[in-house]
Amino acid sequence: MKHEANVTATVGHLIDGRIVHEQGRAQPVFNPATGASNTSVELASTATVERAIASAAAAFPAWRDTPPLKRARVMMKLKNLLEQHADEIAALITAEHGKVLNDAHGELQRGIENVEFAMGVPELLKGEHSRNAGPGIDSWSEFQPLGVVAGITPFNFPAMVPLWMWPMAVACGNTFVLKPSERDPSSALRIAELALEAGLPPGVLNVVNGDKEAVDTLLADPRIQAVSFVGSTPIAERIYADGCKAGKRVQALGGAKNHAIVMPDADIANAVSAMMGAAYGSCGERCMAVPLIVAVGDDTAEAMIAGLKTAIAEMKVGPGTDNANDMGPLVTRPHFEKVKAYVDSGVAEGAQLLVDGRALRVKGHEEGYFMGPCLFDHVRPGMKIYQEEIFGPVLGIVRVKTLQEGMDLINAHEYGNGTCIFTRDGEAARYFSDHIQVGMVGINVPLPVPVAYHSFGGWKRSLFGDLFIYGPDGVRFYTRRKTITQRWPSAGVREGAVFSFPSHQH
Catalytic residue set = 287
The conformation of residue 340, written as its DSSP 8-state character, comes to H
**Residue type at position 131:** R
Sheet holding 175-179, edge to edge: 18-20, 13-15, 205-207, 175-179, 148-152, 224-230, 249-253, 463-464
- Per the CB < 8 A criterion, the answer to whether 9 and 38 are in contact is yes
DSSP-assigned states of every residue in 355-422: E--TT---TT-TTS-----EEEES--TTSHHHHS---SSEEEEEEESSHHHHHHHHHHSSEESEEEEE
Distance in angstroms (rounded) separating the CA atoms of residues 153 and 191: 14
Phi-psi region of 307 (alpha: psi -120 to 50; beta: other; left: phi over 0): alpha
End-to-end CA distance of the chain, in Å? 75
Residues facing residue 441 across a β-bridge: 419
**Residue type at position 41:** V
Q: Is 84 exposed, middle or buried (0-12, 13-18, 19+ CB in 10 A)?
A: exposed
Contacts of 195 (CB under 8 A, 6+ apart): 74, 78, 205
- Let me know how long the chain is: 506
Q: How many CB atoms lie within 10 A of CB 136?
A: 13
Distance in angstroms (rounded) separating the CA atoms of residues 403 and 414: 19
Q: What phi and psi values does residue 415 have, to the nearest 5 degrees?
A: -95, 150
Q: Compute the radius of gyration of the chain from its Cα atoms.
A: 25
Strand segments, DSSP code E, in 104-223 are 129-134, 137-145, 148-152, 175-179, 205-207
- Per the CB < 8 A criterion, the answer to whether 11 and 189 are in contact is yes
Short-list 448, 385, 433, 437, CA closest to 409: 437
Distance in angstroms (rounded) separating the CA atoms of residues 296 and 291: 16
- Per the CB < 8 A criterion, the answer to whether 227 and 199 are in contact is no
Which secondary-structure segment (H or E) carries 143? strand 137-145
Give the number of C-alpha atoms closer than 13 A to the C-alpha of residue 152, restricted to the C-beta side.
29
The alpha carbon torsion through 121, 124, 125, 130 (nearest 10 deg) reads: 150
